[in-house]
Every structure is written in structure tokens, then in C-alpha cells.
Amino acid sequence: MLSHPIDARTLAYHVVKRLVFAVGLALFVKYLILDLSIVKGRQMSPLMQPGDRVTYTKLSFLPMIRDLAPRKYGLPVILHIPTHSGELGCLRVSGLPGDTVSISDGSLYAKNQRIGTYTIGSGDSGTDVLPADYSPRDNMAAFRVPEPGDSLLLDNISVRDFIYVYAMIVQENRAGLYKLQPLLTINDSLKNDYLISDFYAYAGKFCDIPDSFYTNWFFWDRLQLYIAKKADTSTVNISFLLKRDGTVVNSYSVKHRFYFMTAQDWAEGLDSRYFGPVSEDLFVGRPRLVLWSMDPAENGFGALRWRRLFRFI
């Protein structure tokens, strides 16, 4: 038989075609089906540990499909953390749209039913809680998670509820469309140039507080207590104005579904107790399996943790 010489252009075409197909398939799987993430924090400990390489599925969280897969209490979700742009984290669903959520003595309630008692400190049983005035992780007043179409009023609501509403507005709209303006009054006098000197989280003028604090109600709550103590008066009030194009906004209509999300470890977790409900648009996927895990080390050469290989979540 006669052999024909291989045409270089034909060979190159077939190689490139197969490469394009392989890359396209890999991108399809990565962005629509399955992806891998490295766990950095301890907020889902002991379920997920720092150094875990976790696979998560995405399909049921795609916009065209997620309506067919309702979220359930306790479901762990990989999501974009609202207060950390571009950063992924993992939290549990603890409140559905329309639920009234509250926390009492380390237990979370929704619809007047206890959803769960969560770990306080890594490895702790969760039975020893901190005083009610220390942190929202152990005791939190009731808050209703809004449903799509709900109209939220901004007049005469608490600092926490105002910050929760503002955080939801930020999630639903492009950056900078809505502006938050904090106001400080001491003895009924406006004091926005008040100098904060030794507060644990910020030093400077009240009017110069960075935007990074605007979705953390706990910061404002503690700041008000601090100023009241420094000024030696109880008539200190922090309030807010919400503006769009310079016009004060007094109400807002919710567009998306929001969920109240909590960490497994309340001592380590930054979650809805601090920044409010999370839009479903920020959900990315559901963690399924710890493929492997490396013990974090300062030199970057941590040991392989054999006991965490192929652990289902």
C-alpha cells in the first residue's frame, strides 16, 4: 500500500480543533457544572477546615434553573461575601424569604421554630454563650427576611435594620447608585465633625468613616455606645439618610429573593448577623466533597491531612 504524506495544515487544523473543544468543555464544566475552592477561614468548622480543597456543584444555582430547586434550612452554600468583593465563602441557609429570624441564647429561630444551635468557638459544644450585650452572634432581636416585592420603609427603624436594608439595596443595584450618609447628634446638636480618638475599629472624624463600615451594623451600635461614654451623656444618636441622585429615599421595593445565612462556628463567622440577608444572586454553588486537605503552614508546605481525603459534605 502507498502511504500519503501528512498535510501539515490539515494536521494543525485537527490539533487546534481538539484543543478548542477540550478548552471549551473544561470552561463549560468549570463555569456551569463543577468547580474547586480552597477553604481559608474557620467559619464552617468543623464541617470544613482551612486547607480543604472542596468541590462544589453549580447547576442548581444557575438563574434559569434555581427556581426549580428551593433552598432548605441548613443547606451549605458557596457564595460571594457581600462585604468582601470577589471573595468566596461558605454559609448555611438559616432563614428563608418571609421568615422572621431571631437568636436567643445561642439558638436561631425562624417562624418561631428552632432551626439549630450552633458552635461557639472551634470544637466547643456551644453551651457557654457570651453576655447578650457583647455580640449579635448569641442574642439578636427579631428581623423579617423580605420577599420579592416587599416595600421596606426607612423611617424610624433601628440602626441594625437600616444597615440590613442598605446592605440589601447595595446587593441589588450597581455600585454607587445609592449613597448612605451617617449623622451624629449629641444633645440634639449635629456633630458630624466629632473626633473619634481611641475607638477599637476606627480613629478620625465621624464624617470621614470609610464606606467599608457601612454594611456592618455592629460597628455603628458599638460606636454609639463609645461616643456616649466619651461624651458622658446618654443623648447620643446615630442615624442615617439614604440618597439616590441627591434625593432622600424613604422606602425601597425588594427585587430578589434574600436568605439569612449563618456560619457553623459563630465565634469565627462573618455572616447575616452582621451584614444582613444575602441575595440569591450571590449564590454560586453547593459544596459536595473535600477532595484533599493540606494543613496550613506559614512556609506554605503544610502536611497532607489523610483523614480528610474524599469527605462528603
Give me the average pLDDT of each 10-residue run along the chain (313 residues). Answer: 61 66 55 77 86 88 79 91 86 94 86 73 41 61 95 91 95 92 93 91 94 89 90 88 94 96 85 93 92 74 82 88
224 part of a folded domain: yes
- Helix spans in the chain (H): 8-28, 159-172, 217-231, 272-275
CA angle at 255 for the pair 249 and 256, rounded to the nearest 5°: 130
Is 88 within 8 Å of 284 (Cβ atoms)? yes
Domain boundary among 253, 273, 294: 253
- What is the pTM (predicted TM-score) of this model? 0.83
CA dihedral 94, 37, 170, 110 (to 10 degrees): 0
9 part of a folded domain: no
Residues 55 and 145 in one domain: yes
Residues 267 and 313 in one domain: yes
CATH number of residue 121's parent domain? 2.10.109.10
Is 172 within 8 Å of 279 (Cβ atoms)? yes
53 part of a folded domain: yes
Residue 126 has what pLDDT? 39
SS3 (DSSP) at 155: coil
208 part of a folded domain: yes
CA dihedral 233, 217, 162, 276 (to 10 degrees): -160
Is 43 within 8 Å of 270 (Cβ atoms)? yes
Residues 89 and 127 in one domain: yes
Residues 313 and 248 in one domain: no
Adjacent-strand bridge partners of 178: 244
SS3 (DSSP) at 253: strand
Residue 29 has what pLDDT? 52
90 part of a folded domain: yes
50 part of a folded domain: yes
Residues 40 and 131 in one domain: yes
Tell me the per-residue pLDDT of 216-229, one tens digit each, with 9 for 90 and over: 888 998 899 899 98
Residues 117 and 53 in one domain: yes
Is 20 within 8 Å of 3 (Cβ atoms)? no
15 part of a folded domain: no
Residue 67 has what pLDDT? 79
User: Can you give the residue range of the structural domain that contains 249?
Assistant: 151-253
Residue 268 has what pLDDT? 76
**Residues with Cβ < 8 Å from 156, sequence gap 6 or more?**
none
Residues 266 and 145 in one domain: yes
Residues 188 and 271 in one domain: no
27 part of a folded domain: no
Residue 127 has what pLDDT? 37
Distance CA 162, CA 240 (A): 8
Residues 41 and 143 in one domain: yes
Domain boundary among 253, 280, 297: 253
Domain count for the chain? 2
Residues 224 and 288 in one domain: no
Provide the greatest CA pair distance for the chain: 103
C-alpha cell at 286: 453547593
Distance CA 177, CA 60 (A): 30
Residues 312 and 195 in one domain: no
Domain boundary among 253, 273, 299: 253
Residues 129 and 188 in one domain: no
Distance CA 38, CA 51 (A): 6
